[in-house]
Amino acid sequence: MAPFKQSSFTATGIKSLCWRGDELIDWVGGGRAFAADGTERPSTVRYGYRFDAATASPDGRFAVIYERLGTKGLLLCDGRVLRELDRSFYHADAYEYPVALFSGSDGRVLLAHRPRDYCRIDLEDAETGRLLTESLDRKPSDFFHSRLALSPNGKRLLSAGWVWHR
């Protein structure tokens, strides 16, 4: 195993960072990219909304930019807008937007988020938007999902949320 080589570079105005291969991408900043050798590729777009966070799929092809304490997000594929994402306004200013991208067992990139109700996480095929968790029998409890994260092996989804109680 080769020793870890530390490199550094100076950059200002970074809004979010996600890995795509060996590059760091500032998706909120319009796709600005930084290579390990310090070279920079400029932004290709400017988003006119208050996006302040991003998450990316393991392969870096898909990304979601979103407003942490807001209701809007954009799903990007290779830097292009695939579709707009929304979450319920219900107490949206009190907990972070729940969203995660991960690889399914069949290799598809899956999107976990709350497109329907504040207390319900759904999974969909990121590329097609096809909902994979549709069920009439599903009755989610009064739970506020926040800051979704995947286990290192990608098989478990964690929600740093809480149950609302009286």
Task: Tell me the pLDDT tens digit for each residue of 132-163.
Answer: 988 778 777 778 888 899 888 888 999 988 88
From residue 78, alpha-carbon distances to 96, 140, 147, 155 in Å are: 25, 33, 23, 24
* Cβ atoms 98, 82 nearer than 8 A: no
Q: Please, which residues have CB within 8 angstroms of residue 69's CB and are 6 or more apart in sequence?
A: 92, 93, 94, 95, 96, 97
* Cα distance from N-terminal residue to C-terminal residue, the chain: 55
113 - beta bridge partners?
122
Q: Specify the DSSP class assigned to residue 98.
A: -
pLDDT beneath 70, residues of the chain: 1-7, 165-166
- pLDDT for 101 equals 96
Which tokens hold the place of 70?
A: 């807001």
Q: pTM above 0.85?
A: yes
* φ/ψ of residue 94, rounded to 5: -105, -10
Half-sphere exposure of 147 (CA within 13 A, CB side): 6
